[in-house]
Amino acid sequence: MTAQETRAATGLALVFAFRMLGMFMVLPVLATYGQDLAGATPTLIGIAIGAYGLTQAFLQIPFGMVSDRIGRKPVIIVGMLLFAVGSIVAAQADSIGGVIAGRILQGCGAVSAAVMALLSDLTREQHRTKAMAMIGMSIGLSFAVAMIVGPLLTKAFGLSGLFWSTAGLALLGLLLVLVWVPTPNARLFHREASVAGEAMASTLRNAELLRLNAGIFILHGLLMASFVGLPLALVEHAGLPRDEHWWVYLTALLVSFVGMVPFIIYGEKQRQMKRVLCGAVAALLLVELYFVVAGTGRTPWVLGVIAFFTAFNLLEASMPSLVSKVAPAGGKGTAMGVYSTSQFLGAALGGMAGGWLYSQWALDGLFIACALLALIWLGIAVTMREPPYVTSVRLDLRETTVPRADVVARLAALAGVAEVLVIDEEQAAYLKVDSQVLDRAALEHALAGS
């Protein structure tokens, strides 16, 4: 990677991390500390937990499309400012209504699609997967850090201090965009990172993608609903004061990150990702039922939280890869846009429903409802096909001397190429390839006309 590519990848990974930190740090603390806010009820606390997801879901794809027209950086700058303003509103609030308003404003900073598009503008094809992996790692790490730092910050400075730190992180991310992240010379419409309007209908009709969209909707719904109940259960049943929850999450995340790795390796190497997915969903179902019968005491609840995070992190890490495998050539960006929208909608409705369920049927009713939702997902997951083990590749055709009419035939004839789409307006070809079979040298020869 060149110096510019390295700056782009590291800078945008940090922007993602700072933003996700601000989103997730409230999860382990809002159910307990939120009770001190004026007008707080379980239902309203649940709404505060999930409120950011509503605006994220509705603005994610439009912001990405706007960035195709006016540029990536202006959209990202506006988004980070909105996120900072939402954090300040929540920091100054002394009522649950004010926190909800702040969370809704935080969600208006829906810059994920614009960030990914900017990364595509600033990196070459051969390094893009590496750069995107850096962003994926930053998201996972930010979630882990948020689970630990959120309780510690709130213990030291209260909810107000937590939201002020979130505003500071947003402004730090804004500074990175302005000073550190390079400005591209031109915008590249990249169908692996951007939403193509003409691909939307086929994406919404694709049964396999719909199963994955339903899955991520349910997964984040379960996450938000569970975090209405888990902090309360750690206080009521495990006897852990809210100031001590951080070490439970630290233990759970460390164990879960190690525990999920063998399953991901097995699924990818042995090409058994459907089996791994269904197993993780079944584990999530059993964990939710376990929470109903766990009784009292620290050990049962710590073990339950570890099992929950192992299943959750395994699913969270593996599902984007499944979307990439299933999406047609040239359709990955659109598929990921719909997938992200489903994720944020799940987060919004999960938080809201979780608060209401707790207010009606207490912790047992909440966890039973989560188990039923996981059972529905398991029914959906077992009907999916084993995904094709292919990756997406974009080829620049501006330098090739091969006539356009021959490009598709030449590329499709190569061993390991499953699908080819040539977009004349972009002077690019999008391929789905089996990397274990494809001969890269043969691919270069085909484009060179030899």
The per-residue pLDDT for range 225-268, each reduced to its tens digit, is 999 999 999 999 999 999 899 999 999 999 998 889 899 999 98
The rounded distance, in Å, linking the Cα atoms of 84 and 77 is 11
The rounded distance, in Å, linking the Cα atoms of 428 and 423 is 6
What are the pLDDT digits (tens) for 151-197? 999 999 999 999 999 999 999 999 999 999 998 877 666 777 778 77
The rounded distance, in Å, linking the Cα atoms of 159 and 167 is 13
Residue 83 has which token pair? 């996120």
pLDDT at residue number 449: 67
Residue among 113, 118, 87, 91 at smallest CA distance from 12? 118
pLDDT at residue number 223: 95
pLDDT at residue number 119: 87
Confirm whether pTM is higher than 0.75.
yes
Half-sphere exposure for 334 (CA within 13 Å, toward CB): 20
How many secondary structure helices (H) and strands (E) does the chain include?
15, 3
Provide the residue ranges of all domains of the chain, joining segments of one domain with +: 1-183, 206-389, 393-448
Kindly report the number of other CB atoms within 10 A of residue 398's CB atom: 7
Residue among 99, 104, 131, 84 at smallest CA distance from 29? 99
Instruction: Name the residue with tokens 């997406």.
Output: 392
The rounded distance, in Å, linking the Cα atoms of 172 and 166 is 10
Residue 59 has which token pair? 């603005």
pLDDT at residue number 356: 96
pLDDT at residue number 116: 85
Residue 43 has which token pair? 């239902």
DSSP per residue, 42-81: HHHHHHHHHHHHHHHHHHHHHHHHHHHHH-HHHHHHHHHH
Cα-based angle 165, 170, 174 (whole degrees, multiple of 5)? 145
Residue 112 has which token pair? 């994920």
Higher pLDDT, residue 423 or 361:
361
Fold of 393-448: Alpha-Beta Plaits (3.30.70)
Second CATH level (architecture) for the domain 1-183:
Up-down Bundle (1.20)
Strands in 417-423's sheet, in edge-to-edge order, are 391-396, 428-433, 417-423
CATH of 206-389, picked from 2.40.30.10, 3.40.640.10, 1.20.1250.20, 3.40.50.720, is 1.20.1250.20
Helix (H) or strand (E) holding 421: strand 417-423
The answer to whether the 1-183 and 206-389 domains have the same CATH topology is yes
Instruction: Inform me whether the pLDDT recorded for 27 exceeds 80.
Output: yes
Beta bridge partners of 431: 393, 420
